[in-house]
Each structure stands twice: as C-alpha cells, then as structure tokens.
Amino acid sequence: MRVDGQTYRTVWSDDSRRLVHIIDQRHLPWSFCIENLATVESTATAIRDMHVRGAGCIGVLAAYGMWLAAREAQGSKELLSTLANALIETRPTARNLAWAVERQLATISSLSPQDWESASLASAESIANEDALWCEQIGQHGLPLLSAIHAEKPTEERVQILTHCNAGWLAFADWGSATAPIYAAHRAGIPVHVWVDETRPRNQGARLTAWELQNEGVPHTIIADNAGGHLMQHEMVDIVITGTDRTTGKGDVANKIGTYHKALAAFDNGIPFYVALPSSSFDWSCEDSLREIPIEERDGAEIAYMEGRNREGALEEIQVVNPNSPILNPAFDVTPARLIKGLITERGVCKADRASISNLFPEGSRV
C-alpha cells in the first residue's frame, strides 16, 4: 500500500540479503520509521514488544526470522528448533505465527544444511507474497457484500462499516484482511465510510487503522470503543468487518479484546458481522475455543499509561489510572460462531460453521 505516494510492504529483506526490514509501528501515526533486523533475537523482540503486530504481519516476520535462524543455527537441528520455539513463544494467540514457523521448519528439515539459508529465504518470500495475495483475494470476495449494501441505498449514501483494532495492511504483508474489501470498494467507486474503534488499551484503531485509511483517502471517523452499540441502535452501521488472530474449524473467532461485545451488539441489532481472514489464521485442531485458545495477557502498563502527542507536539506517556490499583489486561477474546454472519477468506465467503468452512478448505478437516 502507499505511504506518501511510495509503495510499501510491512516486512521485506534487502538486496544484500543480510537484513530484514520492518515498518516500526510503534511510531505511527506520528513518524514513519523503518527498523533493520539482523538476528533472531532482535526479530523476537520486534514481535514480542510489538514493533510490528497483527496476525499476518507477525507470521510473515517470523518466517523471515526463521531465515535468520537457519543462518544462526549453522547446521544444528537442535539450535534451529530452540530458535523456532523462541519465535513461537513471543505472541501465543495469533495462529499465523506458529503456522509460518512450522512451515519453515518443514521446508528446512527436508534439506541438507548448506541449503537451509537460501531455501528458508525463498520460503519466507513465498509466505509474504501469499499473505499479500490472499488478502487481495479477500478484498475481491468481500467487495460484493459492500456493493450489495450500496445497491439498497440512495446512490449518494455511503456504506457504513464498523471495524475494531487494526486488521489493515499493517497487520499483514499488504492489503489487510478486514480492510481489503473496504479498499477494493473504495477503489471501485463505492462510497464507504468507516467507524474506527479506538481499541484500548493500545489504540491500534485510532493510531494505525485511521492512519492507513487516511493514506488511502477512505472517509472514516474514530469512535470510542463504547460507542459502537449506540451507533448500531441508531442505524448508523450497515456492516461490521473485523479481522481475527485465530479461527477454529467450527468458526469461533479469537480477535482483539472487545470484538465479542461488538458481535453481541451487532447480533442484537440485526447487523451482519463478518470476519475476514486468510487460511493461515485457521486453527484446525482446536475443538474448545474458550478453553484451548491461548489468550495473551499483556502488561498492565498498557492500560495504566497512554502515549500521545501533547498540545506542543511532543510525544509523552502519561498515567491515566489510579496509581497502584491492580490491572488485568487480556489482549484477545473469543466470539462464538453463532454471532458471526460469515467469514471472508481468500477462497470466498462462507458461513461460520464446520460444514461451510470444510467445503472451502477440505484440507482443514483432514488435520
């Protein structure tokens, strides 16, 4: 996608084939910074400390991390496996991360050590290209949902979409999942407007989704997380589209904390709630989503402190809670399939149930 007229992906390797580059999302929307990573340790830190975040993006970075691991392991399968585990443990909820690392391990382990580095780099590039392509296809499959809503309205009226967190291009290699249909509709001339949940505690919506939409010229408005239900009751939302960090074969969706509330409010108001995902976010082996999906619990400091620019333009971090009160900070929740109208995937749109998902992804039912 474009930043100041230049096209970027979120993760890439340079021509010298020594470094991995990332857009360091911690500085957005105030500055656009690129960070260079040369080791598995710095890659793991970048994922754990959220220099990059978003399920697809951390999967792609982990794939490049496995290229660095293949170099650092110098032929030792034991060290390779230790480094792979170190990457997987950085962020437990998003399935894409372990999926990418496991795919890299399968590629590497079938080869002799002198081929590890070149093969894992080629495979990381395939994973990044696939991620971008799948998101673009999600856009094409989601577009008819938005054009059908528009067809029911007076021509000048915008399709009102609500989204939570950032499942935009920053959360993937490119395009995004929830935003891909929005970008596709906007480029096709369908008038859209996006309600952007601020997404406490880290404000990925207010900082990242809003920045992305602005760069693409997509009309949008930032709202407090608690405003969505009210807007839905007043017919100001036509459709909700979110991303997901992990979706089970039954269609239950783990996504950024607060998604479940939005799905409940949408269900109560008869508003279609869609989840957009590439197949790398499916967890085919999970049977009991509430018990089995690991929900990341993050540092309470994310709730206690907020970062922002003061009126003079300087960045500051300020405490926004009663000092010394205990804080609980679960980063994700699970939305049950019954609240979800459909899944928008790279192979098409399906219902959030086992039969419909297996129909599109028969390989999942064989796991």
14 a catalytic residue: no
Closest CB to ligand MRU among 166 and 335?
A: 166
167 near ligand MRU, rule: CB under 6 A: yes
330 preceded by a cis bond (ω within 30 of 0): no
Least CB distance to ligand MRU at residue 138 (A): 11
| Partner residues linked to 6 by β-bridges | 3
Chain residues 175-234 in contact with ligand MRU, contact rule CB under 6 A: 177, 204
Map residue 330 onto helix, strand or coil: strand
Among 10, 120, 123, 166, binds ligand MRU (CB under 6 A): 166
Do 1 and 57 contact (CB within 8 A), yes or no?
A: no
Take residue 115 and report the two structure tokens written for it: 């081929």
Do 23 and 37 contact (CB within 8 A), yes or no?
A: no
Least CB distance to ligand MRU at residue 245 (A): 5
Do 245 and 255 contact (CB within 8 A), yes or no?
A: yes
Least CB distance to ligand MRU at residue 54 (A): 4
Choices 40-48, 147-155, 182-190, 243-251; region in contact with ligand MRU by CB under 6 A = 243-251
Map residue 300 onto helix, strand or coil: coil
Binding mask 11-50 for ligand MRU (x = CB under 6 A): ----------------------------------------
Q: Catalytic: which of 245, 252, 283, 333?
A: 245
Q: What residues contact residue 176 under an 8 Å CB cut-off, 6+ apart?
A: 135, 166, 167, 168, 169, 170, 183, 212, 243
Choices 39-47, 117-125, 162-170, 181-189; region in contact with ligand MRU by CB under 6 A = 162-170
Q: Which helix (H) or strand (E) holds 333?
A: strand 332-335
Look up residue 140 and give its amino acid.
Q
62 near ligand MRU, rule: CB under 6 A: no
Enumerate binding residues for ligand MRU (CB under 6 A).
53-56, 165-167, 171, 177, 204, 242-245, 255-256, 331
| Catalytic site positions | 245
